[in-house]
Amino acid sequence: MNTSTQADQTQVALRKAIERKDETSYLWTRGDTQPFVPRVLPHVFGDGRALLALSTLNQRPAYWVIRVDSSWDDDEIHEHMEGILNQLEEAFGRGRCGYSGNSLFWTKRERVGACQCQECSDGRIRARWPMVDDEGGRSWSWMKWPVGFNVEPHPVHSRANLLCAAAA
């Protein structure tokens, strides 16, 4: 099996394990709550052997799962956070108007007061999870690989583990 095929299979298996409807917690959106499906970022940072769960203040408890390099520590994750958010926005879209910062999760009526750009004034445009709304901040935590993956202990973080190098 060549390496890229194996890498693709890891990604497919991870999505299958992660991207299931969370029946116990609900994504709060203005006026209602809904179960959410966590999403795996397609982009892999470095060797992709460690996992993070990332959520934003406005969208928690919904979260994305991100594969990062096994050598990254907390500081490095902090340094890479802008890059991670950019990749999330590229993959899933941005839930904020680029001109006014209006939330596109709001209805057209709530948006047009502050901004009349094409997006804000188009009633058909309504942002939905997993689009990114990082206004107000975000939080992240280490995460273990789901059951069924070949893992080894993380050398530093007990709340994380690493995908075995041979399986990555």
User: Which of 11, 29, 86, 100 touches Zn ion (CB under 5 A)?
Assistant: 100
Residue with tokens 């795996």: 40
Does 163 sit near Zn ion (CB under 5 A)?
A: no
Element (H, E) at 43: none
Residue with tokens 């390099």: 69
Q: Which stretch binds Zn ion (CB under 5 A): 47-55, 80-88, 99-107, 125-133?
A: 99-107
Q: Which is nearer to Zn ion, 18 or 120 (CB)?
A: 120
Distance CA 67, CA 78 (A): 15
Pairing of strands 39-40, 64-68: parallel
User: Which of 120, 131, 132, 160 touches Zn ion (CB under 5 A)?
Assistant: 120
Q: Which tokens sit at 152?
A: 């080894």
Residue with tokens 């958010």: 85
User: Which of 90, 99, 101, 122 touches Zn ion (CB under 5 A)?
Assistant: 99
| Footprint on residues 15-44 left by Zn ion (CB under 5 A) | none
Q: Which is nearer to Zn ion, 107 or 139 (CB)?
A: 107
Nearest of 65, 71, 64 to residue 46 by alpha carbon: 71
- Binding residues for Zn ion (CB under 5 A): 97, 99-100, 102, 115, 117, 120
